[in-house]
Amino acid sequence: MRKILIWGGVIAGLVAVLLVVAYLGSRSQEVKALTLSVPVSDADWKTGPASASATLVEYSDFQCPACAAFYPVVEQVLKDYGDKMIFVYRHFPLRSIHKNSDLAARASEAAGKQGKFWEMHNMLFEKQEEWAEKSNSDAQALFVGYAKTLGLDEEAFVQYIDSDAARKSVNDSLIGGEQAGINSTPTFFLNGRQMLYTSIDGFIKQITDATSAK
């Protein structure tokens, strides 16, 4: 049983690596960087010092496998450079192919309403395999369970998920991404320009250079 669990972990790790490699390979086909269309504001979910020299904006989909595979990379970047840059998360749910992506985005908004956006953000990516292929109602039940784990008011959480305010927040973010020309996730903008890279090292180097600039 132990050997099976070990190999299961190895296989899961390899799948994540392959997803990132495939995603990075697709980026090499792009030749012109997009420009961020909606400036970062207080309406965004963001972290980092206001005096930072670099701002990293991610348009992402909680149900996107490539986004989940890239999540640990972003977390490491935040550990290494979080005190030197602003990180912004924006919703870009690929509704046509990810049936629970919009619901997940609204769940993060509902958690954010109670001061736990980033905690729910992390949980949704870390537990993606648990909810991604569930029915909408079963996925929501799991999200309510996550909210309970985070110590949120469950009734308020459920009410906000289905609120016009939550839907507007997600839609506004999506529209802003579409205006910039985004058609896939994750898409990153560093200081207003889309990041183009073909390796994780290349991704990190751009951030290193930006946070080192005076």
For 135-162, how does the pLDDT look when each residue is reduced to its tens digit (9 = 90+)? 999 999 999 999 999 999 999 999 999 9
pLDDT at residue 83 is higher than 70: yes
Dihedral sign of CA atoms 210, 43, 126, 19 in order: negative
Confidence of residue 17 (pLDDT cuts 50, 70, 90): very low
Average pLDDT over residues 119-126: 98
63 contact partners, CB below 8 Å, separation of at least 6: 93, 94, 98, 99, 100, 101, 104, 128, 132
Q: Can you tell me which residue has the tokens 């729910």?
A: 120
pLDDT of residue 213: 80
Confidence of residue 6 (pLDDT cuts 50, 70, 90): very low
Question: Is 192 in contact with 36 (CB distance < 8 Å)?
Answer: yes
* CATH number, residue 141: 3.40.30.10
Range of the domain at 120: 2-212
Question: Is 48 in contact with 118 (CB distance < 8 Å)?
Answer: no
Peptide bond into 93 cis (omega under 30): no
Question: What's the structural domain count of the chain?
Answer: 1
175 contact partners, CB below 8 Å, separation of at least 6: none
| pTM > 0.85 | yes
Q: What is the mean pLDDT of the chain?
A: 90
pLDDT of residue 11: 42
pLDDT of residue 33: 95
